Structure 1
Amino acid sequence: MTLLLGPPSSGKSTLIRALTGKLDKHLKVTFKSPYLEKCCYYIAYALLLQLSSVTIQVSGNITYCGHKFSEFCPERTSAYVSQYYLHNAEMTVRETLNFSRRCLGIGGRYDMLAEISRRECDAGIKPDPEIDAFMKATAMQGPETNIITDVALKVLALDTCADIIIGDEIIRGISGGQMRSVTTGEMLTGPARALLMDEMSTGLDSASTFRIINFLRQLVHLMISLLQPPPETYNLFDDIVLLSEGYIVYHGPRENILEFFEASGFRCPERKEVADFLEEVTSKNDQQQYWYLNEEPYQHVSVPEFAERSKSFHIGQQMLEELHIPFEKTKTHPAALTTIRNAVSNWELLKVVMSGEKLLMKRNSFLYIFKVIQLIIIALVTMTVFLKTKMPHGQISDGTKFLGTLTFNLLTIMMNGRAELYLTIKRLPVFYKQRDYSFFPAWNFGLANIKVPISLVEATVWVVITYFGMGFAPGAGRYPKSMNQIHTFYIDV
């Protein structure tokens, strides 16, 4: 478990996004001052809209077990948990987690279970019945409810609000901290075993943060960025990555980080939390209070100097020696990296997305019923205006009234469907998030989101009420049967 620390705007979020392959591959960064040219690309990315003049192209590779991003699917191998929560407001907490679980699939759980069973048989081990039943239940794909969802709800303390809708600015639902837990639970229900979480403790109390991280460390490899973690949560981590101004100030075991700063002349007071000390010791305004070498005058140590000292520190030298030895790809287990973007078949994903659309339409049923009733009232009023007994017949000039009526009918049907425009735009952020997290391909959402049945019902209701009441042709024989008749009609006109 790795804790990513650093003051605001130090590049924590962009670093995590880079490790999960979510940064723009064609990112270009611009700078104003020569000093900023020394900063890492993720600092410049945060200031991209405000800087201009010199252009630097981002370059470099990130590898997992010696494999580049192009050789596997990083979105399936690792899961990125954003600091922003985007969910469908009309769905409950349980329905949201079940939807993500069905979209993400079980991954390699079934193969892992088969491998464990084979090794247990070879070693003559009889598994515990309850653990064996739990492992088999987690490897089941397809049902709408699963034990994985129940475990995630219990661990994240969401079981008390499992059947409450999430809500948004308009619809009242769960609290902000619970929404943050739902964002984490969406990724926990998937098969990824490397989680990169961006400030997951926002909105949570210290006890909930400790409980969640203590549970996650039993399941997955973690890299989490936290702001001011409590001491008991800080002690759960194995490694610390300290960022400041785009530089890696320290990267190594948690037990040696205070030793590194003491070697530079800074000591953490006894009553000061270590996490707060680490975020302040690199600041120019707060650094002097931690200087403990009274016999020597205080000298400000800049962030680049800390970064250079970390390379000469014994932990940094040990890490550099390890990185100089390339990782052999042959040592990678086949289940360590996922090469398939969508673990579930396209047909199954389409059924899952359509079931979600059906659920959302059911929750918004009042809107559709109101639209139909409104359409019926407008149709009755329109029919009385263009009543059959008042519509003239027999003259070509009277056709303009029928053409006007047809135009009004068409515009009414089109305007009645504008309510869907708001719902679609409102759901776009959630769709972009689910698409980027490989929940489903974009065409699945587009195909399932087509409201053709609703449009057909609205058109049928309008035509049944207005067509014969306005005096349109009762049979198809009144219409031209060929292009010649159409040409003759226009010549007569």
Structure 2
Amino acid sequence: VGIRLPKVEVRYEHLNIEAETYLGSRALPTLVNSAQNIAELALAMLGIRLSNPTKLNILKDISGIIKPSRMTLLLGPPSSGKTTLLLALAGKLDPSLKVSGEVSYNGYKLNEFVPQKTSAYISQHDVHVPEMTVQETLDFSARCQGVGTRYDLLSELARREKYAGIYPEPEVDLFMKATAIEGAESSLVTDYILKMLGLDICKDTIVGDEMIRGISGGQKKRVTTGEMIVGPTKTLFMDEISTGLDSSTTYQVVKCLQQIAHLTDATIFMSLLQPAPETFDLFDDIVLISEGRIVYQGPRAHVVEFFESCGFKCPERKGVADFLQEVTSKKDQAQYWADGSKPYSYFPVTEFANRFKKFHVGVQLANELSMPFDKSRCHKAALVFSRYSVTKLEILKACWDKEVLLMKRNSFFYIFKTTQIIIIAVFASTVFLRTRLHHRDEADALLYNGALLYSLITNMFNGYPEISLMITRLPVFFKQRDHLLYPAWAFAIPLLVTKIPIAIFETIAWMTLTYYPIGFAPGADRFFKKMLVVFMIQQMSASLFRLISGICRTIVVSNTGGMFALMFVAFLGGFSLPRKLTKAYFYETAQIPKWWKWGYWLSPLSYGYTSLSVNEMYAPRWINRRASDNVTKLGEAVLEELEIYRNKNWYWVGVGALLGFCILFNVLFTLALTYLNPPAGPQAVLPQDTGDETDSQSNPTRATTKKGMVLPFTPLAMSFDKVNYYVDMPAEMKAQGVAENRLQLLREATGAFRPGILTALM
């Protein structure tokens, strides 16, 4: 009926990307180098530069067009700049990189719309929530991405069909309507993508990780792809999605993506590692990059012709993709030289790039780039100008459902944690048993104060496991945040609220097992007021350790920060050292130093300690007795000796302060998740001679230099005979009616590996 689908044409012109890096031993991640990097970074903020890192050119003045409705393959040897190019086009480059040139979508620059929502970058790293099943992972992604313009297009389609008297097939009509529904917990699009990627057989299996048995590595790679294509985004930058997949599965996935590109006018730019010939033939265009330069960009049909014009020919024994990977390599190029009239000499990458500019495909590309994109041709729905695709309420609902699901899947952890605090409460109640405690004088009161202090410290430590829990969740959060699936607050709010019922149950368990067995002040009001303080301490502690993990972002640094925080709040909490000297202390060193007095007011435990002590010592059995001087009330005398304020209102001051700390820590946690980036991964250490001088054209004679040596070793043979391997039957297979309790993976496997024989496992 004449509806024009949205299309996106991506252009990059004179794109240069440069990084500053250290070489050789200076790049090693040693303690000295790390400290030096931190010091230099701090001085750089003040405008002082002590060292000049080496500048590394990653991409060098490249230009090109990624066209819609066409499958474009990105090829190149390792470290040629493929990932950097994909990240640059997706608008996800590291801010520390120096970038020049221009990237545009349909003529719009990256700062004129939201490229992270208009396009999707699919990483080569598989980062998923291990406790969620495959279908749950894709369903959550679909809920957060929404349906985009499907509903509007469907409405316009229905209107035009009705006007033209066209009645669609019922199955097609039902499918299109189902895929346009927003907010559904499970989408028909998810089922379609699962079927397309061959994941329908494991859709109810958890993804798993190193500690939890789940799907295979190849299936995880397909989940990574499906997580992005399940949404409405039709501009896809895919980075080596075939890693871990067999050639048959890779062909199937690429074939489906080819149909998406051709039928829905999608723009797909994909890098693959050594694709099979049948997979290579599915692509319409080829981009070959080497040493940061574009060697060829254009139709697949002309790529062999271009290299033949340069004197290189692809032999019949070799696939075209493998030929393209090796023809620019110093060590592999010579075997493809086919011009018998000239002796072979190394053909540098810069010469290939210059030859391509004169090749007819390169000339046509230059002509297209010289003509600016006509913005009037841009469909109004082609680009996305809002950061999130669905309403804030729908995002919050999706994150809430996900958090509740993860709590159910991690129920063992919470049961174990609650059991642990119950056991500790039983120990505490037997150590401070009421039959052995009295309330006659200051000495008795100090024993009760010790029990209060034990409650304070125990419930403070109860929040420490939040560090490890959060650290395991952060990689997935950072990935989904950077894809703009949801903001940080939508992640933080359900995380906080869903933990409250568990904290309430643990507080009730602790109070029930310790309050009356120890013999604290009788009375329901004292009981519930202490329960409130214990609950607030638990919430404050969990919020504090979540904040530490959100700032530190690695388990080693977070544990260090957590122990430092515990030391700070404990030493300055007013119970390890008092605020000032009293008659109970005899040495000048037994108080908080004057220059640390501010720490007392910043320690949450000082407020919790004050509230617990005031609540207990103002009970009638303490306040109606006289101290040893027969003048002061016993409860107030004890508070004075402990250097705690003698006023009933300080109970509520402490509760209010703990509530304020909870709010502050959660706000800071949300801000940390919003603005901090994931920690940098391990970097390759570049040799000392790396730099512009190592460019291939600077020393062509090195291409013929060959080195080698023989290392002596003892040849060994390995054999295995009738090996059988069993695992527990997956719950999903039992649900399908499988009666056996064990699943056999290896059956009577017998074989041998011999020295000097290269064996392939297929």
The 2-side partners of 1:5 and 1:232 are apart by 16
Contact 1:72 1:338 survives alignment (8 Å):
yes
Work out the percentage of aligned pairs sharing the same amino acid: 54
Cα-to-partner distance string for 1:122-154 (whole Å, 9 max, x where unaligned):
443322221111111100111211111111110
Query: Map of 1:97-116 to 2, 5 A cutoff?
Result: 97-116=138-157
The 1-side partners of 2:108 and 2:193 are apart by 31
CA RMSD after TM alignment: 1.9
The 1-side partners of 2:104 and 2:160 are apart by 30
Asked if residue 419 in structure 1 is aligned to residue 465 in structure 2, the reply is yes
Query: Map of 1:130-209 to 2, 5 A cutoff?
Result: 130-209=171-250
1:3 maps to which of 46, 53, 73: 73
Superposition misfits of 4+ residues, deviation over 6 angstroms: 484-487
What amino acid maps onto 1:22 in structure 2?
K
Query: How far 1:400 moved relative to its partner?
Result: 2.0
Query: How far 1:487 moved relative to its partner?
Result: 11
What amino acid maps onto 2:341 in structure 1?
E
Secondary structure at the aligned position of 1:212 is classed as helix
Give 1:433's aligned residue.
Answer: 479
1:469 maps to which of 510, 517, 521: 517
Contact 1:268 1:274 survives alignment (8 Å):
yes
Secondary structure at the aligned position of 2:102 is classed as coil
What amino acid maps onto 2:93 in structure 1?
L
Give 2:748's aligned residue.
Answer: none
Give 2:500's aligned residue.
Answer: 452
The 2-side partners of 1:81 and 1:485 are apart by 70
Query: Map of 1:270-281 to 2, 5 A cutoff?
Result: 270-281=316-327
Q: Which has the higher contact order (CA 8 A, sep 6+)?
A: 1
1:486/1:303 CA distance change after superposition, 3 Å: farther
1:355/1:80 CA distance change after superposition, 3 Å: same
Secondary structure at the aligned position of 1:240 is classed as strand
2:136 maps to which of 80, 89, 95: 95
Query: How far 1:491 moved relative to its partner?
Result: 8.7
Asked if residue 387 in structure 1 is aligned to residue 433 in structure 2, the reply is yes
1:289 maps to which of 335, 348, 353: 335
The 1-side partners of 2:234 and 2:160 are apart by 21
Cα-to-partner distance string for 1:161-181 (whole Å, 9 max, x where unaligned):
111111110111100000000
1:345 maps to which of 360, 385, 391: 391
Cα-to-partner distance string for 1:5-24 (whole Å, 9 max, x where unaligned):
00111111111011110002
The 2-side partners of 1:487 and 1:70 are apart by 66
1:62 maps to which of 95, 103, 110: 103
Give 1:40's aligned residue.
Answer: none
Structure 2 stretches of 5 or more lacking a match? 1-70, 261-265, 527-615, 620-631, 642-762
The 2-side partners of 1:486 and 1:199 are apart by 74
Asked if residue 405 in structure 1 is aligned to residue 451 in structure 2, the reply is yes
Contact 1:249 1:303 survives alignment (8 Å):
yes
What amino acid maps onto 2:236 in structure 1?
L
Contact 2:617 2:636 survives alignment (8 Å):
no
Asked if residue 20 in structure 1 is aligned to residue 90 in structure 2, the reply is yes
Cα-to-partner distance string for 1:240-259 (whole Å, 9 max, x where unaligned):
00010100000111001111
The 2-side partners of 1:58 and 1:333 are apart by 29
Give 1:52's aligned residue.
Answer: none
1:488/1:382 CA distance change after superposition, 3 Å: closer
Give 1:299's aligned residue.
Answer: 345
The 2-side partners of 1:282 and 1:131 are apart by 48
Contact 1:480 1:486 survives alignment (8 Å):
no
The 2-side partners of 1:491 and 1:3 are apart by 75
What amino acid maps onto 2:421 in structure 1?
L
Query: How far 1:492 moved relative to its partner?
Result: 6.7
How many residue pairs were aligned?
A: 462
What amino acid maps onto 2:153 in structure 1?
M
The 2-side partners of 1:136 and 1:127 are apart by 12
The 1-side partners of 2:289 and 2:247 are apart by 23
Secondary structure at the aligned position of 1:439 is classed as coil
Worse-matched range after superposition: 403-412 or 116-125? 116-125
TM-score by length of 1: 0.90
What amino acid maps onto 2:229 in structure 1?
L
What amino acid maps onto 2:96 in structure 1?
L
What amino acid maps onto 2:369 in structure 1?
L
Contact 2:197 2:253 survives alignment (8 Å):
yes
The 2-side partners of 1:314 and 1:369 are apart by 69
Secondary structure at the aligned position of 2:364 is classed as helix
Secondary structure at the aligned position of 1:218 is classed as helix
Query: Map of 1:24-35 to 2, 5 A cutoff?
Result: 24=94, 26-28=95-97
Query: How far 1:480 moved relative to its partner?
Result: 4.1
Give 2:271's aligned residue.
Answer: 225
TM-score by length of 2: 0.59
Contact 2:618 2:635 survives alignment (8 Å):
no
The 2-side partners of 1:311 and 1:121 are apart by 51
